[in-house]
Structure 1
């Protein structure tokens, strides 16, 4: 297929996804109809169905895009020569997630997670995506252990699961309770993860 044709297809797919993103953020998954997406995209039904057979396919694609954004952020951190302290890294990751409505990051993520409880196919797809996130967070935990920042006795995979739960809860509270909740969680995470200065020296000095 000619390159220009493939670029056109990708641009059209992105156009449809952007329109669905706006509709879902505005009205939620269940109150959004495919005609709503057609109108927002400015395309005919046939043009949209050529790329997405229905609303479920759009929801899955948005989940993929959202999760890939998080994966890209983690990959960028893993590629860095030096990792920042975890109490700085986690807030930065959450704050760098693109907003889908207002100033709230990953505004559609809570809707996706809720939808997995009624759609087994979406649940399987999201589980696979979170598996990719888990692999990267596990590697981050290993590197922090090697640097002496995290307890070497911790299981890095289990710790990564806790971090995923923290990020998910963080996103939910930011989207439902606003910026103040985000700031409070950020402060709490920094306090919990920051290593005490001169740890271990007090006993020696006495």
Structure 2
């Protein structure tokens, strides 16, 4: 089991890696199955052997994306212990790292919700709600323990999560700040949102 902070290249099956590239470049509706198959080095029938439709490719990609995100967040919280501030910092850092190092997957997850079929849509939204509740719970615990002073914990938790997700739209590995410096800066922003009380 890898550490929740460790990121290498995304470990996606070739058809999903090809679908990710195509969806980022052209969008779901602008991508053909033939294009995905070509990118994956497969024939169209060969691609259909693994994934029977373009929708199944999108769903497969989002399932892997969300399972990775949720696992990392849960491991971060488990490693942080019981202190609400430590838990808050851990879940925020996990969200930031994911949206920095899995930018393309996060982008597709945010922009293609509208493209999900009716059966899978609530499943995917359920994953997102589960992730948001991790943030909600640590903010609630921090308020209850006097570590955070926000009078709107639900809204503050939503604002923190939105800030973390937004990193995927602008972060660049070769940008002016190192990953760790950027995370430290955004942790300060996140603490400000919830009204952190220094110890």
Partner of residue 141, structure 1: 139
Structure 2 unaligned regions, length at least 5: 1-11
Q: Which runs of 5+ in 1 are unaligned?
A: 1-12, 100-104, 199-206
- Map of 2:73 onto structure 1: 74
- Structure 1 residue 19: Cα displacement: 2.7
Q: String of CA shifts for 1:80-133, please: whole Å, max 9, x gaps.
A: 22563745752453124473xxxxx32233333332235453643431221121
| Contact 1:170-1:185 within 8 A present in 2 as well | no
Deviation at 1:185, TM superposition (A): 8.7
Tell me the equivalent position of 2:7: none
Deviations 1:24-59 (A, max 9, x none): 344443443212222232333233213322212211
Please state whether the residue corresponding to 1:133 is helix, strand or coil: helix
Partner of 2:124: 126
Taking the aligned partners of 1:135 and 1:191, their CA distance within structure 2 comes to 20
Q: CA deviation at 1:150?
A: 1.9
Query: Relative to 1, partners in 2 of residues 1:191 and 1:139: Cα closer, same or farther, differing over 3 Å?
Result: closer
Matched, 1:106 2:108: no
The one-character-per-residue Cα deviations of 1:164-205 (angstroms, maximum 9, x if unpaired) are 322232322437xx846997796355145154657xxxxxxx
1:49 maps to 2:51: no
**If the length of structure 2 is used for normalisation, what is the TM-score?**
0.66
Higher relative CO (CA 8 A, sep ≥ 6), structure 1 or 2?
2
User: Cα gap change, 1:108/1:29 in structure 2, threshold over 3 Å: closer, same or farther?
Assistant: farther
SS at match of 2:171: helix
Contact 2:99 2:106 in 1 (8 A): no
RMSD over aligned CA atoms reads: 3.6
Q: Which has the larger radius of gyration?
A: 1
CA distance in 1, matches of 2:25, 2:48: 22
In the other structure, the counterpart of 1:18 is 17
